[in-house]
Chain A
């Protein structure tokens, strides 16, 4: 078990190194894909906190992501605020929205939780879609990127932007690892395993669920501000429930409740989408089949497979060591 606990950070380090190596080899298009992977990884990690660790499967997470993106766009492109202030304000605003939404949705459980988050998310989608001031179905363009020229960093360079995002993923991963290792993180896992027992232990279950919903939402909003800066154009599709579904797919393909899984899933799905859409018009078919096979395979996504493989290798190693010792004993 001990080897498994250190297995995941090692895997995360390996993933990060792979991303950095591909960064050094990437050209313009590769940089765009790497930035896309990093944004999706942040979003999927925020959903993993909720769905994987706390057991709250939300189909409205994309709406919070879109809330961050749209408020960033409004603050910068319409109101003319500086990008740094806008990022902080958009993240905070999304956190507040998530706090209110979380206080409402955590009153129902299971399939009803899935449905109520879907409904509230779709309300957000409809609101943006129908509001002309937010660009309606045309979307919003002209969104600037953060200006870091004071410290000699030009984020308008696709390579620098991609690298910044990859490093951000690493920082957020470490912070979340720290959070999940704390007593608060232990409560979240407890809520996932048995919310009833946690309530019997005298824990304010709904308060904890609301707090993680708000935190996870704020992180999704933060990812949204980065997504808006990446594409410099946003459309209401960002908030649609199928986007939430795709993020859930990313998290489960990588491995839910592993934190590194969502990063691997984001890389895998983004690459698959670009490779397959070059090869076939029907990439959704292959993606869907792949998803069905992974979920029906019973293991916890890619991380689950790798862990099973690692366990197998470790057991074989231990066995050969013990047989060697036994033959030594016999000889002695």
Chain B
């Protein structure tokens, strides 16, 4: 099995697919980190909400396409409420209080999810696009996982264009670089924060709803994905798109191949990687702020 090229090719696809999910999650988090210096531990809960909203919408409409569109919008709405009620007021409070408030938020959102959707694993069986599979190097591979990879790449391309070629992108880059100077030059940094937080929330929701048909949804899924996401953000470097992408690929590959080569200690490998990166490059691989 270990010398079979088809097996390894499938593992490469698996690692790409995990990397793209991590990318969708971490890109919002990293820009929120870099732009607002805000530590949002509740980001994983938004991912779970995306999957659960997606489940309900798919149940109601009988297909996934509307869920892909509406679930991120619902999560964005939740993000807007959280921003207005909590995040905005905690912006200047320092990392420790932010960690605590968003840690409290994890509990609150988890119990709300358990109340609304129960504690069972929820999955959709019908109406999934690309539900077939194809054969490659003698291995059967589900097409849906390729779809996840494509979504990640499309979002990366869209964000790259948004950041490099629009006014909002320029404002975000200026805000990450030096928020005070940016606001002196007439950039409404407050509004930029808000928009970035909404986009980040929507992307977390998108990750959730895209992952749901492949991995099913449950109330606790946000907590277990949070730590790998944080690792991606820190390894990649706060606030940079390139960092989030590189970090996702690195961590996704480490986790997938770690699982194959030393199954028991795959996540230890990830933590060891984080410690090594922090000790060699204390601000991550591609930090937005030098």
Contact = CB atoms under 8 A, between A and B. Distances in A.
Genuine A/B complex? yes
Contacts of B89: 296
A111 interface: yes
B52 interface: no
B251 to A, nearest CB: 12
Contact of A104 (B93, B96, B115, B279): B279
Interface of B: 33, 39, 86, 89-90, 93, 95-97, 99-101, 103-108, 110-112, 114-115, 223, 227, 230-231, 234, 238, 264-265, 267-268, 271-272, 274-275, 278-279, 282-283
A281 B112 CA distance: 11
Interface string A106-123: 011011101110111011
Contacts of A57: 95-96, 99
Which residue, B89, B95, B272, has most C-beta atoms of chain A within 10 A?
B95
A292 B105 contact: yes
Interface in A247-265: 248-249, 252
14 contacts: A57-B99, A104-B275, A114-B39, A115-B231, A120-B271, A122-B227, A123-B271, A126-B268, A127-B268, A242-B223, A285-B108, A285-B115, A292-B86, A296-B90
A120 B270 CA distance: 10
A126 B265 CA distance: 7
B112 to A, nearest CB: 7
Contact of B278 (A108, A241, A249): A108
A108 B231 contact: no
B114 to A, nearest CB: 7
Interface in A121-174: 122-123, 126-127, 130
A108 B107 contact: no
A115 B274 contact: yes
A295 B100 contact: yes
A284 B107 contact: yes
A112 B105 contact: no
A282 B114 contact: yes
B271 A288 contact: no
Given A114-B95, A116-B275, A292-B101, A130 B265 contact: yes
Given A107-B279, A252-B100, A296-B101, 13 more contacts: A112-B282, A116-B278, A123-B268, A126-B265, A282-B114, A285-B107, A285-B112, A288-B107, A288-B108, A288-B111, A291-B100, A295-B90, A295-B101
Contacts of B265: 126, 130
A116 B90 CA distance: 23
A292 B111 CA distance: 15
By DSSP majority rule, is chain B's interface helix, strand, loop, or mixed?
helix
Q: How large is the interface on A (under 10, 10 to 19, 20 to 34, 35 or more residues)?
A: 35 or more
Contacts of A288: 104-108, 111
Interface of A: 51, 57, 59, 104, 107-108, 110-112, 114-116, 118-120, 122-123, 126-127, 130, 241-242, 245, 248-249, 252, 281-282, 284-285, 287-292, 295-296
Which residue, B234, B272, B283, has most C-beta atoms of chain A within 10 A?
B234
Contact of A249 (B86, B90, B100, B279): B100
A119 B227 CA distance: 9
A295 B104 contact: yes
Contacts of A115: 230-231, 234, 274, 278
A214 to B, nearest CB: 18
Nearest to B284: A112
Contacts of B104: 249, 287-292, 295
B275 A112 contact: no
B39 A291 contact: no
Contacts of A108: 278-279, 282
A107 B101 CA distance: 26
Contacts of B278: 108, 112, 115-116
Contacts of A119: 231, 271, 274-275
